[in-house]
């Protein structure tokens, strides 16, 4: 059951969310709720619910703070869907979500640098869709934690 959730269901849902993010720039709330529900189910089956719930709470508070701060200063930053999806993922991944955040952020920075280099845009004017990077970070993290 754990294998199916981690290696099949969650990547498919993240792929769907990535497509919505790339095409519309918005992700419907129910996708985050589905990811969260799957995370709760996965945590319960693996007797990790308490730890993963605390991880989700910490991640939500930290990311929501970044979201509010970027909204207050009027700069691009994390969107609401990014916060919801990462929080939902932490319900199944626990504190391994930090690996996903670090890897996806690193890949996003590399993308922004290359885009700036080739399009001659200023770094602070480039806006990217973050969920596809979350998907790649998730897949890389799965392989790293299961070696």
Express each pLDDT in 78-135 by its tens digit. 899 999 999 999 999 999 999 999 999 999 999 999 999 999 888 777 889 999 999 9
Query: Residue range 49-69: average pLDDT?
Result: 96
Distance between CA atoms of residues 118 and 135, nearest Å = 24
pLDDT exceeds cutoff 90 at 2? no
Read off the tokens for 3: 């294998």
pLDDT given at position 144: 92
Q: Where are the alpha helices (DSSP H) in 46-96?
A: 49-73, 80-93
How many folded domains does the chain comprise?
A: 1
Query: Residue range 14-31: average pLDDT?
Result: 96
Convert 36-45 to b/e letters by CB count within 10 Å (16 or more is b). Answer: bebbbbbbee
Residue whose tokens read 């998907």: 135
Distance between CA atoms of residues 131 and 20, nearest Å = 9
pLDDT given at position 38: 95
Q: Comparing C-alpha atoms, which of 79, 62, 63, 61 is closest to residue 17?
A: 79
Q: Band of the pLDDT at 28, cuts 50, 70, 90? A: very high
Distance between CA atoms of residues 139 and 113, nearest Å = 22
pLDDT exceeds cutoff 70 at 147? no
Read off the tokens for 74: 């009027």
Domain that holds residue 9: 2-145
Residue range 39-48, pLDDT digits in tens? 999 999 999 9
Distance between CA atoms of residues 101 and 50, nearest Å = 21
Q: Comparing C-alpha atoms, which of 47, 55, 20, 46 is closest to residue 34?
A: 20
How many degrees, rounded to 5, is the angle at CA 85 between CA 37 and CA 133? 135
């Amino acid at each position: 059951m754990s294998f199916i959730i981690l290696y099949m269901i969650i990547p498919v849902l993240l792929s769907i969310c990535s497509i919505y993010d790339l095409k519309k720039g918005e992700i419907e709330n129910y996708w985050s709720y589905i990811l969260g529900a799957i995370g709760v189910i996965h945590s319960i089956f693996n007797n990790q619910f308490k730890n993963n719930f605390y991880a989700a709470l910490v991640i939500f508070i930290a990311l929501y703070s970044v979201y509010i701060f970027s909204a207050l200063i009027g700069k691009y930053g994390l969107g609401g869907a990014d916060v919801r999806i990462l929080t939902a993922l932490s319900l199944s991944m626990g504190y391994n979500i930090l690996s996903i955040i670090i890897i996806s952020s690193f890949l996003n920075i590399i993308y922004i640098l290359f885009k700036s280099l080739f399009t001659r845009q200023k770094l602070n004017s480039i806006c990217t869709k973050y969920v596809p990077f979350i998907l790649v970070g998730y897949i890389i993290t799965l392989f790293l934690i299961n070696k």
